């Protein structure tokens, strides 16, 4: 039996109405969580043509693409030589940099969405035990989950700097006692260990020291945060764990924080990567040897 055109139109209208009704009755999306990112940008100057081995030119378009995908509320950067050069890459953000950057001019930067209120960022010399060492940058920010004290660090590098880092740790712990809670401490801790202390042992000593002020390390989803040349200086780059996230044991952070490294570490799952002049890993060569640490806090 043929179905009349009127019947078809009525049926289509009915199903459209049912679909619209079902759409309007959908539950609202879950509340948006808060995302912060900590990232050492390897001597970021904002130039694409720099040729220094230690401060190579950056692929600004690639970096901007990563920042867009990361989509954080707050970015905490280390090793920024020219803080103002970050501004074009982060439209809609307010940037504040440390007043000093140690012997190499490696400033710390906190960038927050413009709709987030905050106190002025404070440069604290507690870890700048000599003029060549970098300070701490801290700021109290009104995040969607509430007021949070964010502290960014970049400590002395290399195994030779182990004893200096121990002194920096003692000074930092004392400073963190006075920061209003809840607190989030992030950055490049340079936990390489020493010639007689393993990197894992140094990480454990940091966790023990900061637990004394109720700050606890969040273990990242992948077991590395950066890559380096390794002892052979060949095409293979080796993973390491230098960057860390410490949070208060009380709400809003208790059991609500997930940390995962991005870019290199995520793509290679912390396995050895290969990069040569002929076949470069563009993130390693043209963005940073460190991976962004993505810190997601449940709503």
pLDDT of residue 31: 55
φ/ψ (deg, to 5) at 223: -85, 40
Rounded CA separation 199/211 (Å): 18
CATH number of this structure's domain 32-297, picked from the four choices 3.90.1150.10, 3.10.440.10, 3.60.10.10, 3.40.50.1980: 3.60.10.10
pLDDT of residue 255: 80
pLDDT of residue 213: 97
- DSSP string over 142-190: EETTEEEEEEEEEPPPSGGGHHHHHHHHHHHHHHHHTSPSSEEEEEE--
Maximum C-alpha span of the chain: 92
φ/ψ (deg, to 5) at 155: -95, 170
pLDDT of residue 52: 63
Per-residue pLDDT tens over the stretch 194-239? 999 999 999 999 999 999 999 999 999 999 999 999 988 899 999 9
| Crossing angle of the two packed helices 162-177 and 199-211, in degrees rounded to 10 | 20
The strands making up 34-44's β-sheet, listed across from edge to edge, are 93-97, 107-113, 74-80, 34-44, 293-297, 257-261
Reported for 169-175, long-range contacts at CB under 8 A and 24+ positions apart, including other chains, are 169/205, 169/206, 169/209, 170/209, 171/126, 171/127, 171/129, 172/126, 172/127, 172/136, 173/209, 173/210, 173/212, 173/213, 174/126, 175/124, 175/126, 175/136
For residue 171, count other CB atoms closer than 10 A to its CB.
16
**Which residue numbers in the chain have pLDDT < 50?**
1, 7-30
Which value, to the nearest 10 degrees, does the dihedral of the CA atoms of residues 58, 103, 133, 39 take? -10
CB-based contacts of 189, cutoff 8 Å, min separation 6: 153, 155, 165, 206, 242, 243, 244
If DSSP codes are grouped into helix, strand and coil, which group holds residue 47? coil
Full-model pTM: 0.88
pLDDT of residue 252: 78
For residue 100, count other CB atoms closer than 10 A to its CB.
17
- Of 44, 106, 96, 76, residue with least CA distance to 287: 44
- Alpha carbon 28 to its chain centroid, in Å, reads 30
Share of the chain above pLDDT 90, in %: 81
- Alpha carbon 47 to its chain centroid, in Å, reads 21
Domain residue limits, the chain: 32-297
pLDDT of residue 245: 98
């Amino acid at each position: 039996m043929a179905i009349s055109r009127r019947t078809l139109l009525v049926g289509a209208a009915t199903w459209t109405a049912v679909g619209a009704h079902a759409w309007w009755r959908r539950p609202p999306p879950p509340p948006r969580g808060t995302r912060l990112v900590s990232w050492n940008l390897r001597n970021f100057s904002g130039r694409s043509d720099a040729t220094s081995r230690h401060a190579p030119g950056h692929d600004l378009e690639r970096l901007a693409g990563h920042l867009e995908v990361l989509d954080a509320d707050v970015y905490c950067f280390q090793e920024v030589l020219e803080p103002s050069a970050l501004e074009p890459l982060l439209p809609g953000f307010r940037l504040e940099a440390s007043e000093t950057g140690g012997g190499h001019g490696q400033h710390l930067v906190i960038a927050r969405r413009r709709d987030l209120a905050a106190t002025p960022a404070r440069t604290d010399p507690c870890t700048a035990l000599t003029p060549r060492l970098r300070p701490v940058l801290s700021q109290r920010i009104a995040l969607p989950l509430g007021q949070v004290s964010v502290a960014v660090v970049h400590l002395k590098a290399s195994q030779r700097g182990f004893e200096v880092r121990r002194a920096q740790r003692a000074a930092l712990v004392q400073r963190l006692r006075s920061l209003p809670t809840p607190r989030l401490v992030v950055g490049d801790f340079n936990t390489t260990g020493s010639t007689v202390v393993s990197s894992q042992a140094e990480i454990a000593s940091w966790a023990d020291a900061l637990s004394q002020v109720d700050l606890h390390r969040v273990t990242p989803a992948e077991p590395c945060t950066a890559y380096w040349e390794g002892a052979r200086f060949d095409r293979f780059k080796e993973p390491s764990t230098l960057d860390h996230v410490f949070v208060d044991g009380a709400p809003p952070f208790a059991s609500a924080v997930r940390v995962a490294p991005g870019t290199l570490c995520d793509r290679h799952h912390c396995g050895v990567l290969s990069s040569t002049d002929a076949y470069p890993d563009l993130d390693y060569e043209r963005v940073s040897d460190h991976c962004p640490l993505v810190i997601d806090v449940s709503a």
